[in-house]
């Protein structure tokens, strides 16, 4: 799940899906980030700031530090997407409480069929 906001913090794009079996929370964060970046690319969004609840995830898409993680291929693909399609990217860590909309989308997506994604 993801929520994309403009420079004023107003939501402009959102997506959620039922991913099925995910091995860990880190992989779920990586998948969510990848889906958000792909949707942003499709919409022509170029400068981007990614907000993630994990300080570990904050560096993962930008460096090779997590290239042995379960989701290493996904992180490498995300890194390539960032380098190829975005003129500015900043990844910051924010408290989970600041992502209430995204977590409500995730709860909703649990009722969908596995693999179902809506943007």
Strand partners, 49: 90
SS3 114: coil
* Cα–Cα distance measured from residue 39 to residue 2, given in angstroms and rounded to the nearest whole number: 10
**pLDDT by 10s per residue, the chain, length 119:** 677 877 787 888 888 888 778 888 888 888 888 888 888 888 888 788 887 777 777 777 777 777 777 888 888 888 888 888 887 777 777 777 767 777 777 778 778 888 777 77
- Please give the CATH topology (third level) of the domain spanning 2-118: Nucleotidyltransferase; domain 5 (3.30.420)
* Cα–Cα distance measured from residue 88 to residue 82, given in angstroms and rounded to the nearest whole number: 9
What pTM was computed for the model?
0.76
Query: CA dist 59 to 4, 23, 99, Å?
Result: 20, 20, 19
Any idea where the domains of the chain sit in the sequence? 2-118
């Amino acid at each position: 799940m993801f929520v994309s906001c403009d420079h004023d913090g107003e939501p402009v794009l959102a997506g959620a899906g039922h991913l099925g079996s995910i091995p860990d929370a880190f992989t779920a964060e990586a998948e969510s980030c990848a889906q958000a970046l792909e949707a942003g690319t499709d919409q022509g969004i170029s400068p981007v700031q990614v907000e993630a609840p994990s300080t570990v995830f904050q560096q993962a898409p930008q460096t090779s530090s997590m290239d042995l993680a379960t989701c290493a291929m996904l992180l490498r693909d995300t890194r390539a997407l960032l380098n190829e399609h975005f003129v500015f990217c900043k990844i910051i860590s924010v408290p989970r409480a600041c992502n209430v909309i995204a977590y409500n989308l995730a709860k909703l997506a649990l009722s969908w069929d596995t693999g179902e994604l809506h943007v």
